[in-house]
Amino acid sequence: MFKFIDLFSGIGGFRYALEKKGMKCVFSSEIDIKAQEAYFKNFGEKPYGDITEISEKKIPAHDILCAGFPCQSFSISGDMKGLEDNRGRLFYDIVRIAQYHQPHVLLLENVKNILTVDDGKVIQTIETKLDEIGYTLQKHVLNASEFGIPQSRERVYFVGLKKRGKLSYNPPKPTMKKIYLEDILEKKVDEALFIDRKDMVLEREDKEYELAPIRIGHVNKGGQGERIYSEHGHAITLSAYGGGVGARTGLYLVDDRVRKLSINECKILMGYPTDYFVSEGIQGYQQLGNAVIPSMIEHVYDSIKIG
């Protein structure tokens, strides 16, 4: 049985994916207390805390190192300070752990902007550091919209393989499954999710189907979090933060009314079952916005081959 570790584990997306593949998690780490609580509810195990304070020698041997390392310092919605930011520097904890344990595979995820922030110097540093400790890195931008998830969510998936090893990797091929937002919507949701404003404008008819968000209107000036989308397309990228009346989920025209998405709808859009535990209220939305999509991790893992 392959063993893996789950760094910056959040609510456990990597673990949810790899345990379905029959693997065993031997260590997890997450600094956020509420995320730790959610992880415990889902897996019966509380992650260790601050990884910077944990010696690599105390981490069990493992075959796969998983990490959705903090993205705020690379995200357009963050401050884009890259590796100079304390959160960005957590990448070096991945390096020290991988250097000591030399797992066969590094499986990492981050926002697309990491490829271009600081004029590409960040990604160059990441590739150099992993090369120095014995890994060949492949990276590909994949959009969940093309893999059966009705959410436009572009992320970079990194696969680090030991040099001179027997493993190879080619990115997974999109399934282009015809699934739309309307297919996962709940019949009844809290009235607090609905928006009724005088400055709401619908700009076009809502008829066509697309495997992408379809913008059909706006509120206020139509800034981020103020755009209205069709249920015949996909959701926009769920986010942990962001402003506007449609913050975190976006706004959608559903049965002739405009509303945000429920927490259960967001769980489905992130590839989790509705009984998967997240914190209540805004924190639950934040946890999902920060999470990885387990099925995307499965697609990437399945694309690693022997030989």
List the catalytic residue out of 25, 66, 71, 266: 71
H or E stretch covering 159: strand 154-162
Cβ–Cβ < 8 Å for 54, 9:
no
| Residue 88: Cβ within 10 Å count | 26
Q: How far is CA 245 from CA 155, 197, 199, in A?
A: 25, 10, 12
Measured in residues, the chain has a length of: 307
Amino acid 295 reads S
Count the Cβ atoms, other than its own, within 10 Å of residue 187: 5
Q: Which of 290, 219, 208 is nearest to 252 (CA)?
A: 219
Q: Are 69 and 156 contacting, i.e. CB atoms less than 8 angstroms apart? A: no
Rg of the chain over all Cα atoms, to the nearest angstrom: 20
- 66 is known as an active-site residue: no
Of 224, 242, 226, 240, nearest to 283 (Cα)? Answer: 240
The secondary element (H helix, E strand) that includes residue 254 is: strand 251-254
Residue found under tokens 């990884």: 51
Contacts of residue 156, defined as CB under 8 A and 6 or more positions apart, other chains included, come to 109, 110, 111, 112, 114, 115, 139, 140, 141
Residues with Cβ within 8 Å of 136's Cβ and at least 6 positions away in sequence, in order, are 160, 161, 162, 163
Q: Which residues contact 9 (CB under 8 A, 6 or more apart)?
A: 15, 28, 29, 30, 35, 39, 47
Indicate which residues carry an active-site annotation: 71
